[in-house]
Structure 1
C-alpha cells in the first residue's frame, strides 16, 4: 500500500503544476483508492461506468470522477448525476445523449472531445473534419447542458517516440486551431488538453498536455 502513496507522490511532483494527474483506478479495489485518497488524490479515472458508479457510491463525495473509456450511450444515465469530466466523447450522438441526461439531472456536464490521432483502428475519436462539422452544427450549439472543456487523444502504443510526439503535436495543433479560430463560444471554457499515459506522459507534457492519465505505474498491474 505504501508503494501506491510513493508512486502517486512521485508522479504528482513530475506533472504539477502544469497538468492535473488523473489516477486511473480501473479494476482496482476501493481499498487501493482509499490509500491514494488519503495521500491527497482527488481525481480518479475509470473506463467502465458501472464500476465507477459503484466506487462513487462507496467513497467520499469530494472525489472528481473522470470517465476515460469508450462510452455507450445507454449507460450515460448512470453517471450523469455525478461524473466530473467525460474524456471520451467520440460521436455527435453520444454528446446529444450526455446533454439529454445532464438536463434530466439539472447539471452541466463537462466533456472533452476525443480525437483519433493514433495509427490504430482500435482507438476511437473524431478526425479534424468531423470535429469542425460538429462544432459548426446548429444542433450542437443548442446544447446547454454540456460544456466542452477541451480535447483528448491517445497516441499509438509504440516504442517509436518520434511518432508519439508527432501524434501529440497534431492534437495540440487542433486544440490551438479551435481556440484561435473561435470555433466555440466562450461559454465552453476550452482549456484542457488530455493526453499522456504511463508510457508517454513526459512527451505529452512537453507538447502541452494539461491532464495526464496514469494507472498501473501508481496502482500496479491491473487485475
Structure 2
C-alpha cells in the first residue's frame, strides 16, 4: 500500500477538528515528500539533527513538531526549526527553549509533557510538580513560548483499560492546568498508531501516527 493510501485511511478515521501529526522520525525525506504530495503538512520528529536536516531540504510550509525529549544543549537547533515542541518536560527545557527562540526571533508553540505511564523510562512532569511550577506563572517571563496544552504517552501495554486510564489522566491534567493559561491552551496530544482511536474517544485533539502511514521504522538506517 502506498503512503498516500495509508494516510487517507488514517485521516478518514479521524473526526473533524483532530490534528494528525505524521510521525516521520527515522524515515527519509523522500517518504515524507510522498505524504506531503498527498496533502499532509504536519510532521513529527524525535531528534534535533534529523529535524534540521529534513527541514532544510523539504518544503517551507511544513509544520514541524518536535516530539522527542529535548536536551538543553540541542535547544538552539529545535528552536530554529520546530513550530511546535510537544515534549517540554522540565523547567530547564522550557528556559533553554525560551532563550534560543528569543535569539532567533521566533515564537514556539509548546505542550507540557505529563508523565502518566507505568514506565520509569517515559519522560514528563509529575502533575503535582508541574502544577507547583505553573502556579508561579513562569511563562509570563517567557514571551517566546506559547503554552498550547498537554502531551503524554500511555503505558506500552495490551491492557486497553490501563491505556484508557492513562488517557483519562492526561485529559484530567489538561483540565486542571487550563485555568492558568489563556484561550490558546486548547491542545491535548495523545495517542499513537496502536491506540489513537481510543485517545480520540478520550478527548485527544492531536494524535501522533507514524507506522500506520510510513510502515515500520528502519532504526539501523536512521543511525547511519
Contact persistence 1:149–1:189 (CA under 8 A) = yes
Aligned structure 1 segments of 4 or more residues deviating by more than 4 angstroms: none
> Which residue does 1:129 correspond to in 2?
128
Deviation string, structure 1 residues 21-80 (Cα, Å, up to 9, x no partner) = 111011111110111000000000010010010000000000000000111111110121
Equivalent of 1:200, from 187, 195, 207?
195
Contact persistence 1:108–1:145 (CA under 8 A) = yes
Between the aligned partners of 1:140 and 1:25, the Cα distance in structure 2 is 30
Give the TM-score of the pair, scaled to structure 1. Answer: 0.95
> Which residue does 1:183 correspond to in 2?
180
Give the SS at the match of 2:194: coil
Unaligned runs of 5+ in 2: 219-224
Give the TM-score of the pair, scaled to structure 2. Answer: 0.94
> Which residue does 2:221 correspond to in 1?
none
Please show how residues 7-156 of structure 1 align to structure 2 within 5 Å: 7-156=6-155
Q: 203-212 or 170-179, which moves further after superposition?
A: 170-179
Contact persistence 1:65–1:84 (CA under 8 A) = yes
Give the SS at the match of 2:50: helix
Between the aligned partners of 1:34 and 1:108, the Cα distance in structure 2 is 26
Between the aligned partners of 2:141 and 2:69, the Cα distance in structure 1 is 24
Give the SS at the match of 2:133: helix
> Which residue does 2:222 correspond to in 1?
none
Q: 19-28 or 129-138, which moves further after superposition?
A: 129-138
> Which residue does 1:219 correspond to in 2?
214
Cα drift, residue 108 of structure 1: 1.3
Contact persistence 1:21–1:43 (CA under 8 A) = yes
Deviation string, structure 1 residues 9-31 (Cα, Å, up to 9, x no partner) = 11011114131111101111111
Say whether 1:173 aligns with 2:167.
no
Q: How many residues of Structure 1 are paired with residues of Structure 2 in the alignment?
A: 218
Cα drift, residue 138 of structure 1: 4.6
Contact persistence 1:135–1:141 (CA under 8 A) = no
Quote the RMSD (CA, aligned, Å): 1.1
Give the SS at the match of 1:70: coil
Unaligned runs of 5+ in 1: none
Give the SS at the match of 2:143: coil
